[in-house]
Amino acid sequence: MSQQRNPFNFGDLALDATFTDRENELRELKADIRNGLNVVIFAPRRFGKTSLVLRAAQELSTDGVLIAQVDLMQTATKEQLAAKLAASIYENIAGPLLRVRDRATQLFRGLRITPVMTLDPNDGAVRFSFSAGHAEADIDATLERILELPAELAAERERTVALVFDEFQEVLEIDPRLPALMRSTFQSQPDVAHVYLGSKRSMMERLFNDQNEPFWRSAKQVELGPIPREPFERFIRERFSSSGKAISPEAVAAILDRTGGHPYGTQELCYALWEEVEDGATATELDLARALDQVLRSENAHFTRLWGTSSRNQRQVLQALAQEPLQAATSEAYRRRYGLPAPSSVQKALDRLVAQEVVFKEGPGAYRIAEPFLADWIRRSGT
């Protein structure tokens, strides 16, 4: 097939030419960060939260805005969090003049626990680590001091600063008391924008919408949905054209009918479709059918694991939703049509599937399968 690079990207962060639309969200986020506003971004996994923030950081950096980012998904302890924060602040906010050895030592000298700083010979980056075994009060004081640094450096360098936390809901797993410590520090930093990204909706809603939680009403809330059809159609056509291939209007429509504008799922299907087409040729619906076969083969292991961990009632609900989205959870006709159990059992299964982000709740009593291509896999496998 083609020797050109596939123009679609679904596994890594979508940056530069692979970043799709989100123009309104991007414009608002950049303005919020410039104004020092705190923002919480809700979205299911693989909806492009991190790509959106990184795109904003790319564009804001040309205006002198400094952004440090920390991913909490692989952060198990407060010591690890302190190390990641120190490294990101040092690299992205401190600046070249402050990153010389003596100034770096001064920057972190006031910490209750002194970090070990090592130089990575491969990329020259400075790594930070904090040994375990310290008293809780000492690590808490160390974290608090590190969280104070962005505001101090912003004032010293006279620059706008943002601190971004990816998968922020994981703070509750690190230490349930951590949100109170962070909020008490952040509320005195009006010139620092704090951006919180989260994929576990129930936990994020608890953090920001429960009046008993420290972060209650502390940030503007933004929810990312599917990408609108028109800009996605344009993006697909342009990406094919830019690589010396074309795609029929019918194939474009069929792709978005199937994915519903899901960012990851659409790029995944387009990637497979592009590989099916010769240079200079036009992708058709027949090519799309072969591409879908390839995607389902690629996703089979993931869907098999998901199916294997689902309860009997959850499987029945998924089988029904794969045939027809549910418009009313209490619908007796729908339950009879698909042999579903009692309403209470159906609702319990739905609630669990929504929490797992396998199913999306579209409104009161209305549900559909959210996981791209899962409905196709269920229908084809006959599970």
How do strand 246-247 and strand 282-283 relate by DSSP bridges? parallel
End-to-end CA distance of the chain: 35
Residue 250 lies in a domain: yes
263 token code pair: 């960012």
Q: How far apart are CA 144 and CA 364, in angstroms?
A: 42
Residues 345 and 301 in one domain: no
Q: Which amino acid is at 51?
A: S
* Residue keyed to tokens 């019918």: 250
* Residue keyed to tokens 């791209």: 372
Residues 50 and 89 in one domain: yes
Residues 210 and 245 in one domain: no
3-state secondary structure of 38: coil
Residues 253 and 356 in one domain: no
- pLDDT for residue 279: 93
Residues 47 and 114 in one domain: yes
Sign of CA dihedral 305, 307, 312, 317: positive
Which pTM value belongs to this model? 0.79
Residues 115 and 254 in one domain: no
Q: How far apart are CA 68 and CA 53, in angstroms?
A: 11
Q: What is the pLDDT of residues 165-214, one digit of tens each?
A: 999 999 999 999 999 999 999 999 988 999 999 888 788 989 999 999 99
CA-based radius of gyration for the chain: 24
- pLDDT for residue 1: 47
Nearest to 335 by CA among 355, 321, 354, 352: 321
Q: At residue 19, does pLDDT exceed 60?
A: no
Residue 14 lies in a domain: no
CA distances from 81 to 88, 174, 333 (A): 11, 9, 51
**DSSP per position, 342-353:** -HHHHHHHHHHH
Q: At residue 248, does pLDDT exceed 80?
A: yes
Using left for φ > 0, alpha for ψ between -120 and 50, and beta otherwise, residue 36 falls in: left
Question: In which element (H, E) is residue 361 found?
Answer: strand 359-363
**DSSP per position, 284-312:** -HHHHHHHHHHHHHHHHHHHHHHHHTS-H
Q: How far apart are CA 260 and CA 228, in angstroms?
A: 9
19 token code pair: 């970043």
Q: What is the pLDDT of residues 255-310, one digit of tens each?
A: 999 998 998 999 999 999 999 999 999 999 999 999 999 999 999 999 999 999 99
Residue 320 lies in a domain: yes
* Residue keyed to tokens 């978005």: 256
* Bigger pLDDT: 146 vs 51: 146
Residue 342 lies in a domain: yes
78 CA to centre of own chain:
22
The total number of structural domains in the chain stands at 3
User: Domain boundary residue among 194, 223, 252?
Assistant: 223
Q: What is the pLDDT of residues 78-132, one digit of tens each?
A: 999 999 999 999 889 887 656 555 566 677 777 899 888 887 777 767 788 998 8
Grade residue 330 by pLDDT with cuts at 50, 70 and 90: confident
Domain carrying residue 176: 22-223
Name the average pLDDT for the chain.
89
